[in-house]
Structure 1
Amino acid sequence: MPSGAASWKDPVPVVWSGAADAPLTARIRALAPSLHAGERRVAEFVVGDLALAIESTAQDLADAVGVGRATVVRTAQTLGYDGFPQLRVAAAQELSHVHVASTDDTLVGSLRAAADRFASRIGDSVAALTEESLRSAISALDEAGRVLIVANGLSSPLGLDLQLRLTAAGRPAEILHDALAQRIAARQLSANDVCVIVSGSGANETSLAVARAARDAGATVLSITSFARSALASGSDTALVVPSMSDSFQDELLHTSRVALVLVIETLVDSLIKHRGPRGREARDAVLRELGNALSEP
């Protein structure tokens, strides 16, 4: 394991390092589910009732969830605030933008409500990303000899989407779907190669095994995930953290959405094309020519 790399078994504690104006609940979604038990109870209380959190003192909240006042303050600091008063201000700011839930219980109404919910949170998708992490990811993809993409479970379609987009951008990439084949391919990478792991949870053991194999081979590990303190993010050279659209880790498991990850993947490839200059434009022009040839007149 390279010097300074995090252990796959023991993620390094981190504090919020994304955008300074990121919403409170987006920060919580990105850092969950790896908050310490007491911090998690505080965070769940805040997400569950922003209005009550605003009206509570640190001691009130501590008493309500059964932790010490210091845990409440530490949670606020982990989320990137100087203390609990600043967290309360952030909660008030976010609450002012909350949309009123739809009372339309028809199928179309449910669909409209889901679309409104996504629309209100889509800006949170980039809240945890930094200029440094994006530049690092783009440079790694551009300069790599080989790019191996790994995605399992519900993230599998995203991996295929990324592979097709990169190939169309003139950056050939490979993807394998068999777990053993993934590990074998990762172990055969070199220090000049990149292994991209796409995993919403960042805890898929099959994907983690591939990431370990890639790191053992000396390759760069680039992850795209929803949780900043997941084993995958902590063990990657570069992690693009895209906060989940769900309210909690449980909700993420039950009602998994990959909308935010799709947006970031598409934008990442577009940025890569721009970064590659003439090479990127020529590759895109070639794709457009082939698309034109494949279309027939009605």
Structure 2
Amino acid sequence: MTNDLKEIFSARPPAPAALAAKVRTLGPSMTRSMQLVAEAVAGDPAGCAALTVTGLAELTGTSEATVVRTSRLLGYPGYRDLRLALAGLAAQQQSGRSPAVTADIAVDDSIADVVTKLAYDEQQTLADTAASLDTTQLGAVVSAAVSARRIDIYGAGASSLVGMDLAQKLQRIGLIAYAHADPHLAVTNAVQLRSGDLAIAITHSGSTGDVIEPLRAAFDRGATTVAITGRPDSAVTQYADHVLTTSTARESELRPAAMSSRTSQLLVVDCVFIGVAQRTYETAAPALSASYEALAHRHSPRTPR
């Protein structure tokens, strides 16, 4: 997968609802001048929609070229298309369909406030991820998983938990899938992969060496490779045939990226699993029924002999 973000997001201009998601997702990987433009359009879509490219450049203290580059990075052919999306986003906000972002969780918040804020952030994260998820890439990943001889999944920390979740789901419908949290085992298993196998790396930052190394080994040996990441321009995508981008709720002192990224990662792996289950329904449905029955039998009272 190339690191050219314009290729990654050039399939078609995102809908207004997806614009805010892409600003949040791509913002950290932008240059500072491009961040200024992105922050301006996300913070005041109505005001920026009324500005010409020159006006927005003057407002943000950047250049017209920077405004155009930012527009293209966000998935729009040019600034005119971005303005139309900004107008649409502003209309959504004015209609009450896009609520204001809640404040960060504070150390003295009540439990009720914590529940409300976390629930909103989780909902926003899921909506952002769904809006920015490339379904063409997702379909390709599903196809690769369906035909794979073996599926290896790499993750570290919280991402390893997501990898284990995906692996156990795939195992329950009869696929051969392994989740590797130990970096040494991940690499030694990756070098055994070949064409027809599938390797999936899960890393929000896209720069976790313990995840990149096994994916690179799998890539070098001809396996189909996938990166699930919140940074589509990061190092891990150099070794990914397919990239699935996740979004993240706003970080705070009490809620670091490892926590907020997990929600979007779980949505993506659930989409992969459901897609595979749909494509293999004739075998997946009986396998799921058998696993449910086995678990039910395990927990049912046993008749004494």
| Paired residues, number | 288
Matched ranges for 1:86-97 at <5 A: 86-96=84-94, 97=97
Whole-Å separation in 1 of the counterparts to 2:205 and 2:12? 18
Whole-Å separation in 2 of the counterparts to 1:54 and 1:231? 34
**Kindly, what percent of the aligned residue pairs are identical?**
27
Whole-Å separation in 2 of the counterparts to 1:26 and 1:176? 30
Asked if structure 2 preserves the Cα contact closer than 8 Å seen for 1:23 and 1:90, the reply is: no
Task: Report deviation, 1:121.
Answer: 4.7
Is 1:45 paired with 2:40?
A: yes
User: For residue 125 of structure 1, what is the aligned residue in structure 2?
Assistant: 129
Distance 1:130 1:158, change over 3 A: same
Whole-Å separation in 2 of the counterparts to 1:48 and 1:247? 17
> Could you list the per-position Cα deviations for residues 137-157 of structure 1 after superposition, in whole angstroms to 9, with x for gaps in the alignment?
111111111111101122111
One-letter amino acid matched to 2:198: V
Distance 1:121 1:182, change over 3 A: closer
Task: Report deviation, 1:52.
Answer: 4.7
Distance 1:159 1:254, change over 3 A: closer
Asked if structure 2 preserves the Cα contact closer than 8 Å seen for 1:170 and 1:280, the reply is: yes
> Could you list the per-position Cα deviations for residues 47-74 of structure 1 after superposition, in whole angstroms to 9, with x for gaps in the alignment?
3444553454433432343311221122
Asked if structure 1 preserves the Cα contact closer than 8 Å seen for 2:6 and 2:75, the reply is: no
Distance 1:247 1:152, change over 3 A: closer
User: How well do the aligned residues superpose, as a CA RMSD in angstroms?
Assistant: 2.9
Q: For 2:161, which of 157, 161, 178 is the aligned residue? A: 157
Matched ranges for 1:28-43 at <5 A: 28-43=23-38
Is 1:98 paired with 2:90?
A: no
Deviating more after overlay: 99-108 vs 116-125: 99-108
Whole-Å separation in 2 of the counterparts to 1:254 and 1:179? 18
User: For residue 70 of structure 2, what is the aligned residue in structure 1?
Assistant: 75
Whole-Å separation in 1 of the counterparts to 2:62 and 2:237? 28
SS of 1:59's equivalent? helix
Asked if structure 1 preserves the Cα contact closer than 8 Å seen for 2:227 and 2:244, the reply is: yes
Task: Report deviation, 1:28.
Answer: 1.7
Is 1:20 paired with 2:24?
A: no
Asked if structure 2 preserves the Cα contact closer than 8 Å seen for 1:51 and 1:92, the reply is: yes
TM-score under structure 1 normalisation? 0.84
Distance 1:284 1:173, change over 3 A: same
Is 1:218 paired with 2:205?
A: no
SS of 2:240's equivalent? coil
Q: For 2:178, which of 174, 179, 182 is the aligned residue? A: 174
Distance 1:127 1:231, change over 3 A: farther
Asked if structure 2 preserves the Cα contact closer than 8 Å seen for 1:138 and 1:271, the reply is: yes
User: For residue 207 of structure 2, what is the aligned residue in structure 1?
Assistant: 203
Note the residue ranges of structure 1 that are not aligned, 5 or more in a row. none
SS of 1:148's equivalent? strand
Asked if structure 2 preserves the Cα contact closer than 8 Å seen for 1:102 and 1:109, the reply is: no
Task: Report deviation, 1:233.
Answer: 3.1
SS of 1:240's equivalent? strand
Deviating more after overlay: 95-104 vs 233-242: 95-104
SS of 1:23's equivalent? helix
User: For residue 117 of structure 2, what is the aligned residue in structure 1?
Assistant: 113
Asked if structure 2 preserves the Cα contact closer than 8 Å seen for 1:149 and 1:173, the reply is: yes
Deviating more after overlay: 186-195 vs 76-85: 76-85
Is 1:283 paired with 2:275?
A: no
Deviating more after overlay: 225-234 vs 195-204: 225-234
One-letter amino acid matched to 1:12: D
Whole-Å separation in 1 of the counterparts to 2:218 and 2:285? 31
Whole-Å separation in 2 of the counterparts to 1:276 and 1:229? 33
Asked if structure 2 preserves the Cα contact closer than 8 Å seen for 1:194 and 1:221, the reply is: yes
Distance 1:80 1:102, change over 3 A: closer
Task: Report deviation, 1:202.
Answer: 1.7
